Structure 1
């Protein structure tokens, strides 16, 4: 994905502090624009922000605020906006409220177009087009009555299609219990295929356009997201909001309000706080072969024992030197390390020596 910023307040899979993390992400955008211009170097993700507990407005606002940081970083690196912006993509969450989600996706396209044309002056039409993938909401899956999750997933996928997603991932019904079984994965795939080939919703672009309710809801989401984006800008932008804890606090407040509504019965969750199912019997779960971990470690050891250490040591030293120099390219020395036989752990370890580890406390 290469979207490191959301990790600091939504998912937590980071190593380095935010500024070096942002530097790495932007440098990959620079590298791709120069060396592999038809490749998409980043998928800016609202999915994990929503999964952490954000509401629909926060999902869009925080995601687009992150996107603005990447845009500013790429411009500061000397790239022209229309050289790299057509290859930016997004990843959003498809949640339970069918109409709100469809309106959210419609609003997202309008907001992104305004950001690109009005804020950054993009001239190439493709720079202002919102390309996005949507995945159904893992956080809505329930362990109790897990079969009902298939219905939730179908509605969420439908919302994504009605909202104009370019691609969709449907979660499996048993993912609240563990990794999905082959049967559950097949049902998730068939859900996509029925929507795509039997429902008729793909026969026209924007099938909900013109509906009074959808248009009003779209306008309302646009207004609220743009207000929050202005608020984030006044606070210094996404990086400042990450460092101050503003994003994390906003998500925590929304997550708490949601959970309180579930626990008090204000928000209905079928099979959890209403319409309970009979006691579930034994459920078939996917079992992972415990030997896989040992096999992978042995394979890695064989790989490392068969390479020349001298060229790798030199390449890692060059990477550390580049990391110490503010603004120096990082992707080229990273590629050199890979060509010398370096592993992901060794390369990230070399950068850790310079950047350090991030402690959110």
Structure 2
């Protein structure tokens, strides 16, 4: 038997011989143990309620071929990672999510984190900004700076990155419905710093489809919103080749209650939708596919999460090569950022969250992430304090430098359990993808409420097993304490909102309002045609048109989305 055709099941023992040996073990050693010490429950499942067997052997992988299904790091199908040396050459980017209060407040936090060894910036915006409203909008009252930084204009963006060279620091921005506008502000700020846009790197989340599925922060209906995404991708192909114009996000899908397989399936199917839209817009797949990135959740079930990341790489490689005919290897590679699961953190016994985050982060690393955010222990109570954010960053640094997990590539590769989980997750995700294809694609599926209803059902089923204590959450439905644990919290000063309102009033008084009006009119007219909206948004930003003004000028053109009842 050649090395290329050797399967895991044939390495040491023939399947029939192995089956006989397992049956002997079950009837003797196992039976005696169970008689003396029964197992703790009849059904062992993952966090996603996937049944797990007592033992996995080569017979659970009957058709497994090493070269075809596992391969080598840096080679198709990338099950073992996209880099031939894993983390031996370069660690993942340690990118702590940060943003609160005013741009000045967040700028200080950015500088602090960079001084502490963080290797990339990740911007959290407040709710008004995420929804396309200025800080002085009536819709923004009480929310300015509360869940992230308030950015209403180019002036705010300039302050946010003051003293931080955007050509030298990779920057991620978690923004979706108004992503094009925030991106335009970032671009003009970089230009004002003297940066060469072709050298500026970073990631714009810009994944509007998952908003309709899970996070629910939208402005426009899906189809015109997709046009804004493809416009920004086309702009980056031409002007910013090192920037990732979209980060296709499963994180929020998982936070909404999806299973690991649903997170995998819906995220990759969103990716398929973006690729198809760009091709239909006239782009060559190999011109933009290498800059697509992904964003996954790092949840509690250690092995299921590792298998999910491995399945994602293998499945995406096959999709890009076989479905879209991509020719470049970089187009086949799934690059991803991971964030530990906010939905698993508890307000009860909050210091337990440090342990949860460490285990989740380790799963992301063993799964081969390119970038990682570790949540802070206090995030169920408030935005992260400086102390809590430092502990979260130190968690990554300890994993990187003290545990030894970076010494070899894909150390769990070849585990019968992990390989079977990887196969099962890939198969379930493919089934979902085929069902969505049959509906006409992800936009059509969203309009029909399919992924939303699937997530609702999964969330309901999980809550049932928590309520019945079949699944224990330490400190919540098991191992509880009557006394509370006090942790120092970051409190956002209410004066931040007033200060932002005053800045906007001053800005509107000082800028050339006639130029703002002309730029907004040009944008609205361009949006009614097939023109790329990015250059028009950038010109509006240059005049210091605000986020809310730009979004509002597109509302009459594109309409506003109202979610139907499902």
Aligned to 1:333: 536
Instruction: Report which of the two has the higher share of helix.
Output: 1
Q: Are residues 1:148 and 2:352 paired?
A: yes
Unaligned runs of 5+ in 1: none
Once the two structures are overlaid, the 10-residue window that deviates more, 338-347 or 239-248, is: 338-347
Indicate yes or no: 2:435 matched with 1:197: no
- 1:6 equivalent to 2:210? Answer yes
Q: Is the partner of 1:203 in helix, strand or coil?
A: coil
How far apart in 2 are the matches of 1:133 and 1:188? 16
1:302 aligns with 506
Match of 1:66 among 253, 270, 276: 270
Provide the C-alpha distance between the structure 2 equivalents of 1:181 and 1:278, rounded to a whole number of angstroms.
25
TM value normalised by structure 2 = 0.63
Q: C-alpha displacement at 1:183, in angstroms? A: 1.8
Offset at residue 37 of structure 1 (A): 1.6
Would you say the 8 A contact 2:520–2:550 is kept in 1? yes
Larger radius of gyration between Structure 1 and Structure 2: 2
Aligned counterpart, 2:261: 57
* 1:314-357 CA distance string (max 9 Å, x none): 111111111122x3211111111112221111111100121121
Gaps of 5+ in 2: 1-204
1:281 Cα deviation after fit: 4.9
Match of 2:497?
293
- Residue 136 of structure 2 is matched in structure 1 by none
CA contact (8 A) 2:273 2:442 kept: yes
Q: Does 1:353 align with 2:556?
A: yes
| Aligned-partner Cα distance in 1 for 2:289–2:230 | 12
Q: Which deviates more, 178-187 or 347-356?
A: 178-187
2:234 to 30, 51, 54: 30
Residue number among 217, 221, 231 corresponding to 2:425 in the alignment? 221
- Matched with 1:233 is 437
SS at match of 2:337: strand
C-alpha RMSD of the superposition:
1.0
Which range moves more in the overlay, 100-109 or 297-306? 297-306
Residue 484 (structure 2) aligns with: 280
Aligned residues: 360
Pair 1:192–1:282, CA change in 2 (3 A):
closer
Task: Map 1:14-25 onto structure 2 (within 5 A).
Answer: 14-25=218-229
Distance, in Å, in 1 between the alignment partners of 2:506 and 2:290 is 42
Q: Which residue of 2 aligns with 1:171?
A: 375
Q: CA deviation at 1:283?
A: 3.8
Structure 1 stretches (4+) deviating beyond 6 angstroms?
none
Query: How much does 1:83 deviate?
Result: 0.4
What's the offset of the Cα at 1:181?
1.9
Moved more, 177-186 or 93-102: 177-186
Q: CA 1:281–1:81 in structure 2 vs 1: closer, same or farther (change >3 Å)?
A: closer
**Distance change (3 Å), C-alpha of 1:2 and 1:281:** closer
TM-score (norm: length of structure 1): 0.98
Residue 90 (1) aligns with residue 294 (2): yes
Aligned 8 A contact 2:378 2:487 in 1:
no
Cα deviation per residue 1:259-288 (whole Å; 9 max; x = unaligned)? 111011111111111111341154432111
**Mapped partners of 1:338, 1:281: distance in 2:** 46
Shift of residue 101 of structure 1? Answer: 0.2
- In 1, Cα distance between the equivalents of 2:364 and 2:559? 40
Alignment of 1:113-128 (within 5 A): 113-128=317-332
Q: Pick which of 272-281 and 222-231 moved more.
A: 272-281
* Equivalent of residue 267 in structure 1, options 449, 465, 471: 471
Out of 411, 415, 421, the residue aligned to residue 207 of structure 1 is 411
Question: How much does 1:163 deviate?
Answer: 0.3
Query: Does the 8 Å CA contact 2:255/2:341 hold for their aligned counterparts?
Result: yes
